[in-house]
């Protein structure tokens, strides 16, 4: 579930970084009653592009950490199982 949320956030951030004017227009229509009267300043588009880039980068970092944490946990299980096999063989030889 966490990976899905990070993926959706990353895609949203990527879309905002690629098309900041469209994203600002979408959010303006969503939040204002008279969206036609609202005119964003020039810096708003640059800020939207930076925000989208940061959200996409944060999602990528989160997905990477999630993927490496899953891989490390699986590797630990395999190591524990291998150590258990060695212990079982040692006990069989000792008997």
Residue 84 — pLDDT band, cuts 50, 70, 90? low
47 HSE (CA, 13 A, CB side): 6
The tens digit of pLDDT for each residue in 25-45 reads: 999 888 888 878 888 899 999
At residue 10, the pLDDT reads 96
Number of domains in the chain: 1
Residues in the chain: 95
Report the pLDDT averaged over residues 45-67. 96
Q: How far is CA 91 from CA 78, 81, 87, in A?
A: 20, 15, 6
59, pLDDT greater than 70: yes
Q: How far is CA 58 from CA 23, 39, 63, 73, in A?
A: 19, 29, 9, 22
Mean pLDDT of the chain: 83
Domain that holds residue 83: 2-94
90, pLDDT greater than 90: no
């Amino acid at each position: 579930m966490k990976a899905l949320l990070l993926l959706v956030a990353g895609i949203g951030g990527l879309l905002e970084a690629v098309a900041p004017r469209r994203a600002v227009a979408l959010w303006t229509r969503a939040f204002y009653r008279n969206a036609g009267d609202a005119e964003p300043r020039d810096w708003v588009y640059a800020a939207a592009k930076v925000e989208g880039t940061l959200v996409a980068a944060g999602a990528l970092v989160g997905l990477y950490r999630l993927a490496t944490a899953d891989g490390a946990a699986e590797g630990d299980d395999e190591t524990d199982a291998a150590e258990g096999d060695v212990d079982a063989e040692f006990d069989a030889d000792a008997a």
